[in-house]
């Protein structure tokens, strides 16, 4: 028996629907409902979330019958077994979308470009079946590329049924509004705060954004999960995420001040320690690039360019390592005229120089580095770093003697209390220059860098330095010691690969090690 509870608004109406499912006539009402329903294989109670309270009280007495209940909120009955439905995976979601769309237009998405647009639509709506059904209903009136463009420009508001669809909701907005109404004001505010986060995030991050202790945060997350607006990440169960469709709805309907408070709570943790020029000595992939992007966009929108720059510089390596130079350049350009203090302008110039170097624009990189060097005042660490960077560029500019001189100046300018990261960077750059001139001196310096890297437990720096050490030892004819360095680096790489830690698992350096070993 199937019972649609969509229009039920009272306990009496819910009971009447159950009595109808039992097949009762008017004269039979009032007899043993549990026994009557128990004769059915099972009773399906559909769309129950808005009458959970009534249903909980009724089902507590119906102990013999078997029920399957679809609801965005669990009933919390002792005999209840909950099966949490996840959004569709990419492949089944795409199959559903194409099947439904081709019922409307048999030649829909006939080209590779159109099928790629379909895959992007699936990603935008987060695999939500209702959103896919509504999107597919537009297939006869729009191409996949056209629909994707509308989604990017206007958001999920474009998802509304076109023609006769037997769906409970005719717009995605209606469905999301129903979920929103199930939340108390405090849960609505919590959902808004969590919706500023992108991708998956930890309970600790949620505590920061909500401004709550760990126990209270866990209560909030459990309540939001019970109402089907937050899910556990299916691939990493220790992490959470807000359904993408819910996230967009919450942000569109949020009080602006609540969004701002959540943004600044996140910022106070992620950007608590202001990063200076020495950060350019590091080349580490960030583990929270998505939320750094949230901070960049949020602070930029509120006119807080200095904080936006701090967020951007912390995620810069994610852009550089995947070759997204143009995208990174555009983000830098968005800040160029908004930076007011001298330190921010110095950091901005250094970021431009670094980007030019990654692009292979070495003359421009050198010119920008010299410009940054001229901007430095009373900062020995910044001066040492810039001299080392400028010296390193001289190799690409075919001026090795000048490069060595600049790198030696960098070493002499390095303060005794310089950070280990900066000291390792300066010594490593000079050692690289010395490899062809004085392998023994290069090896001595690289061993010092290796010690600093071990002190920092900086796996990528150790991996790179060990590879360079092997090269210097080969140049000196010391093959056994070179093999020992290669073996240590290979073990380090394997440890990183087994832990799936991206800073360790660097494919380019694995290839370097293979070449050295050969």
* Model confidence pLDDT, tens digit, residues 158-200: 777 665 555 566 677 877 888 888 888 999 999 999 998 988 8
pLDDT of residue 506: 53
Of 190, 223, 224, 222, give the one whose Cα is nearest residue 208. Answer: 190
CB-count exposure of residue 166 (10 Å: 0-12, 13-18, 19+): exposed
CB-count exposure of residue 428 (10 Å: 0-12, 13-18, 19+): buried
pLDDT of residue 190: 92
Q: Where are the beta strands (DSSP E) in 124-173?
A: none
Furthest CA-CA distance within the chain: 105
Q: Model's pTM, two decimal places?
A: 0.69
CB 268 within 8 A of CB 373: no
| Count of CB atoms situated within 10 Å of the CB of 467 | 21
Q: Which two tokens stand for residue 284?
A: 């580490």
The strand pairing partners of 138, in sequence order, are none
* Alpha helix positions (H), 275-379: 289-301, 305-314, 316-321, 325-335, 342-358, 362-375
pLDDT of residue 499: 46
Tell me which residues of the chain have a pLDDT lower than 70. 25-31, 161-170, 458, 460, 495-518
What are residue 437's phi and psi, to 5 degrees? -95, -45
Of 87, 92, 143, give the one whose Cα is nearest residue 115. Answer: 143
pLDDT of residue 137: 83
CB 126 within 8 A of CB 243: yes
Dihedral (C-alpha) 384, 385, 386, 392: value to the nearest 10 degrees? 110
Cα 441 to the chain's mean position, in Å? Answer: 44
Interhelix angle 11-21/52-59, nearest 10 degrees: 50
CB-count exposure of residue 7 (10 Å: 0-12, 13-18, 19+): exposed
Q: Which two tokens stand for residue 351?
A: 């970021």
Tokens 């290796």 found at: 450
pLDDT of residue 220: 94
> What 3-state DSSP class applies to 171?
strand
Give me the sign of the Cα torsion angle 192, 197, 203, 206.
negative
pLDDT of residue 498: 44
Give me the sign of the Cα torsion angle 331, 333, 335, 340.
positive
Q: How far is the C-alpha of 53 from the C-alpha of 55, rounded, in Å?
A: 6
CB 141 within 8 A of CB 162: yes
CB 284 within 8 A of CB 320: no
The strand pairing partners of 160, in sequence order, are 171
Please, which residues have CB within 8 angstroms of residue 375's CB and are 6 or more apart in sequence? Answer: 342, 345, 346, 349
Tokens 């209606």 found at: 174
Q: Which two tokens stand for residue 323?
A: 């070759």
Q: Which helix (H) or strand (E) holds 95?
A: helix 90-104
pLDDT of residue 512: 59
> What 3-state DSSP class applies to 4?
strand
pLDDT of residue 84: 79
Tokens 């409902």 found at: 33
Of 402, 401, 491, 467, give the one whose Cα is nearest residue 437. Answer: 401
CB 190 within 8 A of CB 224: yes
> What 3-state DSSP class applies to 160?
strand
Q: Which helix (H) or strand (E) holds 240?
A: strand 240-242
pLDDT of residue 31: 62
Q: Which helix (H) or strand (E) holds 219?
A: helix 214-226
CB 217 within 8 A of CB 210: yes
pLDDT of residue 502: 42
CB 368 within 8 A of CB 356: yes
Tokens 């437990």 found at: 457
CB-count exposure of residue 106 (10 Å: 0-12, 13-18, 19+): exposed
Question: What would the 3-class secondary structure string for 265-286 be?
Answer: HHHHHHCCCCCCHHHHHCCCCC
* Alpha helix positions (H), 417-478: 420-434, 439-456, 459-475
8-37: string of b/e by CB count within 10 Å (b at 16+)?
Answer: beeeeebbebbbebbebeeeeeeeebeebb
Q: Would you give the DSSP letter of residue 67? A: E
Task: Give ∠ CA 244-249-176 in degrees, rounded to 5.
Answer: 90
pLDDT of residue 518: 58
Q: Would you give the DSSP letter of residue 50? A: G
């Amino acid at each position: 028996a199937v019972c649609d509870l969509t229009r039920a608004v009272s306990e009496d109406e819910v009971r009447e629907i159950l009595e109808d499912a039992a097949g009762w006539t008017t004269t039979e009402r009032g007899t043993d409902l549990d026994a009557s329903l128990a004769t059915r294989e099972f009773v399906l109670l559909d769309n129950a979330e808005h009458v959970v309270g009534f249903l909980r009280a009724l089902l507590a007495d119906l102990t013999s019958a078997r029920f399957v209940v679809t609801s965005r909120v669990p009933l919390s009955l002792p005999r209840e077994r909950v099966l949490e439905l996840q959004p569709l995976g990419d492949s089944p979601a795409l199959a559903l979308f194409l099947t439904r769309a081709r019922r409307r237009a048999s030649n829909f998405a006939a080209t590779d470009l159109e099928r790629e647009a379909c895959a992007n639509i699936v990603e935008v709506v987060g695999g939500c079946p209702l959103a896919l059904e509504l999107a597919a209903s537009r297939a006869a009136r729009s191409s996949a590329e056209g629909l994707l463009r509308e989604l990017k420009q206007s958001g999920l508001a474009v998802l509304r049924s076109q023609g006769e669809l037997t769906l409970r909701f005719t717009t995605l907005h209606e469905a999301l509004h129903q979920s929103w109404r199930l939340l108390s004001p405090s849960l609505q505010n919590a959902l808004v705060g969590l919706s500023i986060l992108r991708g998956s995030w930890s309970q600790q991050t949620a505590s920061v954004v909500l401004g709550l202790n760990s126990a209270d945060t866990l209560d909030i997350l459990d309540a939001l999960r019970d109402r089907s607006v937050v899910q556990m990440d299916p691939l990493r169960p220790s992490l959470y995420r807000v359904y993408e469709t819910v996230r967009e709805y919450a942000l569109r309907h949020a009080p602006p001040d609540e969004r701002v408070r959540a943004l600044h709570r996140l910022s106070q943790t992620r950007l608590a320690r202001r990063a200076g020029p020495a950060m350019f000595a590091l080349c580490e992939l960030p583990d929270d690039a998505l939320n750094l992007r949230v901070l960049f966009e949020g602070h930029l929108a509120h006119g807080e360019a200095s904080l936006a720059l701090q967020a951007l510089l912390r995620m810069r390596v994610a852009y550089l390592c995947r070759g997204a130079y143009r995208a990174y350049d555009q983000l830098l350009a968005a800040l160029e005229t908004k930076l007011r203090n001298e330190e921010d302008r110095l950091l901005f110039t250094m970021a431009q120089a670094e980007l030019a170097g990654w692009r292979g624009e070495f003359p421009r990189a050198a010119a920008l580095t010299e410009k940054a060097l001229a901007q430095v005042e009373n900062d020995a660490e910044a001066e040492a770093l810039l001299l080392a960077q400028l010296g390193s560029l001289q190799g690409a500019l075919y001026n090795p003697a000048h490069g060595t001189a600049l790198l030696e100046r960098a070493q002499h300018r390095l303060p005794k209390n310089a950070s280990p990261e900066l000291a390792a960077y300066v010594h490593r750059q000079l050692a690289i220059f010395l490899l062809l001139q004085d392998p023994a001196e290069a090896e001595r310096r690289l061993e010092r860098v290796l010690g600093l890297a071990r002190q920092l437990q900086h796996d990528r720096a150790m991996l790179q330095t060990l590879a360079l050490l092997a090269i210097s030892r080969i140049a000196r004819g010391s093959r056994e010691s070179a093999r020992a360095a290669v073996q240590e680096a290979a073990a380090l790489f394997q440890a990183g690969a087994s832990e799936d830690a991206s800073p360790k698992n660097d494919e380019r350096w694995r290839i370097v090690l293979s070449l050295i070993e050969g």
